[in-house]
A and B are shown apart, each in its own frame.
Chain A
Amino acid sequence: MSGHEPAIMPPGNYYLTGNEALAEGAIAAGCRFYAGYPITPSSEIMERMAARLDEIDGGVFMQMEDEIASICAVIGAVWAGARGMTATSGPGFSLMQEAIGYAAITETPLVIADIQRAGPGTGQATKVGGGDLMQAKWGSHGDYTPIAMCPWSVQEMYDLTIRAFNLAETWRVPVFVMGEEAVGHLKEGLTVDAPPAVINHREEKGATPFGHELPDGVPPMPAFGEGEKLLITGSTHDHRGFRKTDDPAVQAQLTGRINDKIMNHRDEIVDTEAHAVDDADIVVVACGFTARSVLYAIETLRTEGLKVGLLRLKTIWPFPDDIIRTVCGSGRKILVPEMNRGQMAGEVMKYAGGDVIPLNRTDGRIIHPHLIMETIRGIA
């Protein structure tokens, strides 16, 4: 079929879970390799990928022995030419952190979905949490800059997963889809349109895959089996891939570039959505499921005459510092509700001029609109 990848769900309206939609988004984005390990509440992604990749020519699904093996297998497959992903939840995300750093330093594009549950430790496996936001940013050792998406609906589990793959390929970086149990298990309508635009990483014969003339550039990326004699290492390496574990200049240049390639282009990556903030006395900054509670709350409170607005972060990393500076200026009160002990609030405080008021819930339940309304009435 011309211009239509038969693997993609035909255009139409579907009723499915966020986890299933995320898997479908991955398929639509061209993901053809999945390796994973079962963990609640993300397992439906794996099950859907197992079934879907089985029907697709060239699709490969692997159930690995643990989460470490899963992400490592994805990195191996990506260098063998695949678009690859894995999905997990808190404990598995913890196990993957070393390999995430490996993906960052080797500039390996891949997508990792973390369907957040109540932690720490085993916590409440079936209950919702939002406590992995800082882990997404800082989970692996050393300095690197990942990208993270925060879907708030089943539709966005699909749409933002597609975007995650395109960002991973554009910037050669690991990208996280920071879902939450409440969205992963939510059933909702999904509208599938024509096949999405799929961006591929740049390929160039004979180019150096780990160096760029610009200090914040993204080098082209060949694959195994193309005769490029790739030299890939997680150690500090020069533009050709040779280990340079004693050279301060190479270390500085590499860590500089893999961070700056993201930070210097964050205008092209950051995505936020403002609702009724222009005249707002109180701005609520939220992401994921919580932002839906907030939107419901502010729509209700507006009818009571309260001037409240919502700034929703569709991407949390890199953090939208400039937008926070603009929207959360002095004279405004800034409420930051989140299903953790203040991970995002701390970040908002770095850039906001106004008073930042955290609203934290870590009881394994969503933050209900009533709690947000009550809190806003209390600070208005």
Chain B
Amino acid sequence: MLEQIRLCGFGGQGVVLAGTLLGHAATSAGFRVAGANAYGAQARGGAAIAEVVIANAEIVFPHVITADLLVCYSQTGYDRFAAEVGGTHPRIFYDSLLVKPAPAGETVAQFGIPATDEALRQLGGKQAANIILLAAAVARTALIGRLHLATAIAEHGGARFRETNLKALDIGFRLGAAAAPEPGPA
């Protein structure tokens, strides 16, 4: 098993943190993990990309070569990376408020998740939308157990946002479990 995951969005959305939490969760679940980030010189507003490779054997090359899973927090990120998703089970999870999806290839399963909407509605702010979308993707793909992600959030997500992030995890898991893939193009 080798899962190549790319998360993309803008600086300030918590994209890098989402990738880091996924890495911690997969590590505690016993997987081999490698993660790399790329972001612009400015801490907020520039493009932010996080990559996580999860495997059950030694990871030779630690960057994403072809993403199996794209978690997308911005239109720009979607436009740049959606077409590159591949592998045997290509999937895209996107924030349905921020991204207008294009028709995907036949084998690509796309899931629109109202992460920012639900964060605003249930958590009173959009800050934890990163966790909601990540949790939805993790839940739907059964990548790792919920407990591992909860532990990662509690230990590495920052004490200030712990409660909010754990609520976001619940919301994301519910949304992910219920999510159905959108119909592909003709």
Our pick among A14, A15, A299 for the contact of B60 (Cβ within 8 Å) is: A299
Q: Which of A23-31, A183-191, A254-262, A322-330 is the interface stretch?
A: A183-191
CB of B62 within 8 A of CB of A14, answer no
Q: Cβ of B30: which chain A residues have Cβ within 8 Å of it?
A: 13
CB of A189 within 8 A of CB of B27, answer yes
Interface status of A356 (Cβ within 8 A of chain B): no
CB of B34 within 8 A of CB of A188, answer yes
Interface status of A369 (Cβ within 8 A of chain B): yes
Interface size class on chain A is 10 to 19
CB of A187 within 8 A of CB of B60, answer no
CB of B63 within 8 A of CB of A187, answer no
Our pick among A187, A189, A292 for the contact of B32 (Cβ within 8 Å) is: A189
Interface size class on chain B is 20 to 34
CB of B35 within 8 A of CB of A188, answer yes
Q: Cβ of B65: which chain A residues have Cβ within 8 Å of it?
A: 296, 369
Task: Say whether, besides A13-B27, A14-B27, A15-B27, A292 and B36 are in contact (CB < 8 Å).
Answer: no
CB of A187 within 8 A of CB of B41, answer no
Name the prevailing secondary structure of the B interface residues: mixed
Q: Cβ of B27: which chain A residues have Cβ within 8 Å of it?
A: 13-15, 189
Q: Cβ of B36: which chain A residues have Cβ within 8 Å of it?
A: 182, 185-187
Task: Say whether, besides A13-B27, A14-B27, A126-B41, A187 and B61 are in contact (CB < 8 Å).
Answer: no
Interface status of A293 (Cβ within 8 A of chain B): yes
Contact residues, B39-73 vs A (CB, 8 A): 41, 59-63, 65
Q: Cβ of A182: which chain B residues have Cβ within 8 Å of it?
A: 36
Complex CA–CA separation, A270 to B32 (angstroms): 28
Q: Cβ of B35: which chain A residues have Cβ within 8 Å of it?
A: 15, 186-188
Interface status of B130 (Cβ within 8 A of chain A): no
Interface status of A352 (Cβ within 8 A of chain B): no
Chain B residues in the interface with A (C-beta under 8 A): 20, 23-24, 26-28, 30, 32-37, 41, 59-63, 65
